[in-house]
Amino acid sequence: MLDHYEPLWSEHFPNAFVKFKQLDFQNYDPFEYRFYGDDMDSLRTVAEEMVAVMRKNPNLMNVHMDWQNPRPIIDVELDPVATGQLGLTRTMTELQLALNTGTTKIGQVWEGDYEVPLMLKDIHKDNLNYDGVNDLYLSSLGASVPLRQVGEAHPIWTADKILHRGGERCVTVTCDLKRNVLPTPIHKELQDVANNKLHLPDGVRFEVGGEPEDDMENLIPLGEGLLIGIIIIFFFILFNFKNYKITLVCIAAILLCLPGSILGLALMNRAVGITAVMGFVTLMGMIMRNEILIFEHANGLVRAGWSVRDAAYDAGRRRMVPIFLTTATTAVGVVPMIVAATNLWMPVGVTIFAGGIGSLIMVVTVLPVVYWKLFDKRKKS
């Protein structure tokens, strides 16, 4: 997250005077490409190169970087000998220039729950230029001297704002995606450009933000919650079947949704992101219900005297229709999500649709065979 704007009287302009700026956190952008470094010229150069590459892509619009166009400010250079003789320090000079050139807050009043600041402003100095700054008087040790006697004010050009992340200077290049355009291939293309085609000066490093970074940040807590849920489900199934082997098979069978889901996402050119994981969570519940139906039916037949092989075959055949109906209705229900082709809903719909169809085939074919082999060996022993 962003930390702060850098005051423009930094080490590059040690004696320049400008106001501090307060930063509001920016909103999340799906495309963010960040460049970190200490040298402002190098950061701006590589960021402008990235902007030029992105503007050539017809699927992107509103390409820009968060360092705005340069603007002029007044840089004040102090004579260390003259200021030392008068006892003037940088801090004293900055404060006096602030009072003479800016708007100073001297207090506040309250109107209900709202604070209204009281500002001190010299209206006669609204159009003050750098020559006028040189004529401003500075006071120290009972003496007042114009600035031009202890230093010089002159105009320079600098960035309108300098942003930081984690204490480092950072330029972020962002853009918007045109409607009905898939972001995943564009993400891959731009990352390849940034990693292999841009010339990164010494001291400048590159980082991908936006949607990929947001997905990674959310996947970790989601994975932790998913693991806790699987542990709870494990004990529920163990309590029902009272058999560790069949319980472990039920938990492992959750992975049957992966082949179809990954194939569907690959065909639709979508990445496995946070929204796709939401679809996996939905499929987990569907698969768990289907395998419980099969194993419960097979256990009932075995208790009735059927052989394990016949019970497993009949369970797959009998439960195929209800499993097909529930899976098919769920898959058809997410078709509008796929047709909408939005970045949020399409990966969820593709995961549920393709993973549901794939798991349907695998559940009714693989699980009966697993049940037969697992319990037939136990019976022979």
Q: What would the pLDDT profile of 216-226 be if each residue is shown by its tens digit?
A: 777 788 888 88
Instruction: Decide if 235 is inside a domain.
Output: no
Neighbours of 107 (CB within 10 A): 9
* pLDDT < 70 regions, the chain: 1-29, 68-72, 102-104, 120-130, 157-162, 180, 377-381
Give the predicted TM-score (pTM) of the model: 0.53
Residue 257, exposed/middle/buried by CB under 10 A (0-12, 13-18, 19+)?
A: buried
Task: Report the pLDDT value the prediction gives residue 230, as an integer from 0 to 100.
Answer: 87
Integer Cα distance of 9 and 7 in angstroms: 6
- Concatenated DSSP letters of 171-191: EEEEEEEPTT--HHHHHHHHH
At 278 the pLDDT is 82
First vs last Cα of the chain: how many Å apart? 61
Domain limits at 175?
2-70+161-213
For residues 64 and 90, state if they share a domain: no
pLDDT attached to residue 210: 74
Q: Could you tell me if 251 and 351 lie in one domain?
A: yes
Residue 248 counted as domain residue:
yes
* 275 plus 303 within the same structural domain: yes
Does residue 290 form part of some domain?
Answer: yes
Query: What's residue 293's pLDDT?
Result: 86
Residues 334/240, Cβ–Cβ less than 8 Å? no
Q: List the CATH number of the domain containing 353.
A: 1.20.1640.10
Q: What is the pLDDT of residue 24?
A: 36
Is 322 in the same domain as 347?
Answer: yes
Give the pLDDT score at 260. 87
* Residue 122 in domain: yes
Contacts of 281 (CB under 8 A, 6+ apart): 226
Residue 190 shares a structural domain with residue 249: no
CA dihedral 231, 234, 240, 245 (to 10 degrees): -150
- One domain for residues 153 and 301: no
Q: Is the domain of 253 the same as that of 368? A: yes
Do residues 46 and 152 both lie within one domain? no
97: domain CATH number is: 3.30.2090
- Whichever domain contains 175, its CATH number is 3.30.70.1440
Residue 93 within any structural domain of the chain: yes
Residues 254 and 337 reside in one and the same domain: yes
| pLDDT of 17 | 38
**Position 259 in a domain:** yes
Which of 293, 283, 250 shows the shortest CA–CA distance to 354? 283
pLDDT of residue 4: 41
Provide the number of structural domains found in the chain.
3
Both 173 and 302 in one domain: the answer is no
The residues pairing with 110 across neighbouring beta strands, listed in sequence order, are 115
The pLDDT, as a whole number, for residue 43 is 85
Same-domain status, 204 and 279? no
- Final residue of a domain: which of 158, 192, 223? 158
Q: Is residue 224 part of a domain?
A: no
Assess whether 84 and 185 both reside in one domain. Answer: no
- pLDDT score recorded for residue 126: 57
User: Contact at 8 Å (CB) between 198 and 46?
Assistant: yes
Is 107 within the bounds of a domain? Answer: no
